[in-house]
Amino acid sequence: MICLDILKSLKKMIAVAARLCYSPVSVDELMEELSDEEVNKLVRFVVKSGHLSTTEHVNFTFTIEGVSRALTHQLVRHRMASYNQQSQRYVKFRDKFEYITPASIENDDDAMKKYNDLVSGIHDLYKELLDSGIDAEDARYILPNASETKIIVTMNGRELLHFFTVRCCNRAQWEIRELAINMLKQVKRVAPVVFEKAGPNCLRMPCPEGKFKCDNPPEASDFDA
């Protein structure tokens, strides 16, 4: 996964947006006037206070590969984002079919053999369907959630903060949690002030999951870049 496009002055844009609401001067003047110290102070204030509309002015784009369709079915539920995904309708997987294997299956020899045999059988039938003239858009109906996929995702700062809150939590499904942690580490490298407190709710307050809370909550260092 690679962070593709980061606005160079993203934290300054957040700070300018916050200051503009209460300032009589122009945006250009604010850009020139705000020192780096003032920018950091403003960004920390808006994030801590929850005035997150200003973080919507900066966008982050990621290319994501080596994940399952099971993961992307969850990912696209985050509606305040833009997506482009490899199509199973137009891309044919006759010669090479990659799939994701959960560790719980990988660590069980009997389950692993049955899993691989099933996926191999599905791929064989998929190729038979294509060879018999069935369109790829119909043959894909038998492909499993384990199918590897590629997707490009763009989210603004506000949506990312929400995404990290729910998907870095230990209660999130393991694959999307791994992705979210990886994404958080990526953005911390380029916008540490914006995302220094990002992560699950338990980093900032008592766990809201009630009886479902985990026994081993993560620590802030788990999400360091």
CB count within 10 Å of CB 174 equals 12
No. of H helices and E strands in the chain? 10, 4
Helix (H) or strand (E) holding 155: strand 148-156
Asked about 79 being catalytic, the answer comes back as no
Tell me the Ramachandran region of residue 133: left when phi exceeds 0, alpha when psi lies from -120 to 50, beta otherwise.
left
Question: What token pair was written down for 192?
Answer: 């540490």
| Cα–Cα distance measured from residue 222 to residue 224, given in angstroms and rounded to the nearest whole number | 6
Residues 6+ apart with CB under 8 A from 184: 164, 168, 195, 198, 199, 223
Q: Are the C-beta atoms of residues 39 and 15 closer than 8 Å to each other?
A: yes
CA-to-CA separations, 197 to 33, 44, 185, 191, in angstroms, rounded = 27, 9, 12, 11
Catalytic residue among 19, 69, 167, 177: 167
Q: Which residues of 192-220 are buried (b: 16+ CB within 10 A; e: fewer)?
A: ebbbbebbbebbeeebeeeeeeeeeebee
Q: Are 159 and 80 contacting, i.e. CB atoms less than 8 angstroms apart? A: yes
* Residues with a known catalytic role: 167
